[in-house]
Amino acid sequence: MSIFRQPLSERFRRLSKEGLWVVLGQLAAVAGALVSVRLLTEYLAPAAFGELALGLTVASLVNQTVFGPLFNGISRFYAPAAEAGETGEHLQAARALVLQACALVGLLLAVALATLALARQTQWLGLTAAALLFAVVGGINTVLSGLQNAARQRAVVALHQGAEPWVRVLAAIAMVLLLGGFSTAALAGYVLASCLVLLSQWVFFRRLWRAAALPGRAVYWRAQTLDYSWPFAVWGIFYWAQSASDRWALGLLASTADVGLYAVLFQIGYYPVSMATGIALQFLTPIFFARAGDATDQARSAGVTRLTGRLTAWSLTVTLVLGGLAFLLHAPVFRVFLARDYGAASPLLPWMVLAGGVFAAGQIIALNLMSQLKTRTMMLAKIGTAALGVALNFGGAWWFGIAGVVAAGLAFSVIYLVWMAALQRAILQGALRNGV
């Protein structure tokens, strides 16, 4: 029975239980991330932490252009496939797409290592290999979590989401103690942790893999997923360039030590506030997609849009409150969560918090557009804001260093939010003209 056809009391009880699991998983993940920063900064100098942050941008590229688009497409079509009684076919299509993605990244790894060897940049071989392996294993984990979240297996998702940062930091510290305080050692620990999480993910995921599948319909869901996902891959290149350019701009125009300072600032400022909104997004994503269905019913789509407006206002309110708290408490927060060498960046914490919260509000609106299958409509906004963000990051790093990059991130987030809101408004006005 669809959740929207259940009695109100039963629906409230189920949603409350699911919401509790989402909150617990996200809180455990945030706590793990903060502890991770605290512990790793004790074992890694700012320069080594900066190299680790640069290595993670390589993994981020793969996520933005390969596994991220698949995650969005596979998650989006789980509910329509379940409505049609074709869950097995959908899962067969998902498996084929993930295997092809792994093969593609394997080829990329071989090319990258050969290129570095020919260029005699052997010092980057280990970090590049670890980054791409981390991208593959982490990408598979992301897709499995997306499917389990779409299937409303909230407890399973919360378990892995909450446990992964803790397992990651323990594995990273173990590898640093074993191999030395190098960025490659820490990233190798990340790979080991992701493999352990993947093993656990698969044990739980096999429960979904029971329905028989018709090959022809599996091809249909594969085509649907690819048609929906390819815009994510296109703008993912530009979004990756924007999200990585802050670190690379500082690395090229300043030093890896500045990258390390900025990375920890991002980790305790941008990440927690975006995760706070992420609690709502994770909870609402399968509900939005189920309510919108195949996006052919304009009344259903308009209802999701109205809900989006209320959630965006809530997100911005929370952002302002957290930004005010960061302004008052940035110094003690740095003393608690970071080693002493990183304290110089603390005055920038409130602005990083605002940048994360404003961007998260824009992502809520983007979720609504995705639920209505408007991925192509979003392409210009995604690419345009990302390209502008790259220019802002390099300009900020050139003129003002870390402070300039933080200001550039806030400006990018504001522009992104305004553009997403304008797209949503245009779509809503179109629906009203059609009599909804």
Summarize pLDDT for 110-124 with one digit per residue, the tens.
999 999 999 988 888
Pinpoint the alpha helices (H) of 44-76.
Answer: 46-62, 68-76
Least confident range from 3-12, 92-101, 174-183, 224-233: namely: 3-12
Q: Where are the domains of the chain?
A: 3-433
What DSSP letter does each residue of 310-355 carry, written as one string? HHHHHHHHHHHHHHHHHHHHHHHHHHHHS-GGGGGGGGGHHHHHHH
Q: Kindly give, in sequence order, each residue whose CB lies less than 8 Å from that of residue 50, ignoring residues fewer than 6 positions away.
A: 247, 250, 251, 255, 256, 257, 258, 259, 260, 261, 263
For 9, the token pair is: 């009391």
CA distance 117 to 119: 5
The total number of residues shown for the chain amounts to 436
pLDDT digits (tens, 9 = 90+) for 263-302: 889 988 997 777 766 666 767 777 777 777 666 677 777 7
Q: pLDDT tens, 350-402?
A: 999 999 999 999 988 998 888 877 878 888 888 999 999 999 999 999 999 99
Amino acid 282: pLDDT: 67
| Separate counts of helices (H) and strands (E) for the chain | 15, 0
Q: Distance between CA atoms of 108 and 237, rounded to whole angstroms?
A: 15
**Terminal CA-CA length for the chain:** 27
Among 151-165, 181-195, 202-216, 342-356, where is mean pLDDT lowest?
Answer: 202-216
8-state DSSP, 295: S
Distance CA 241, CA 405 (A): 14
H helical segments located in 63-182: 68-76, 78-83, 87-118, 125-150, 154-179
SS3 378: coil
Contact yes or no for 310/57 (Cβ under 8 A) = no
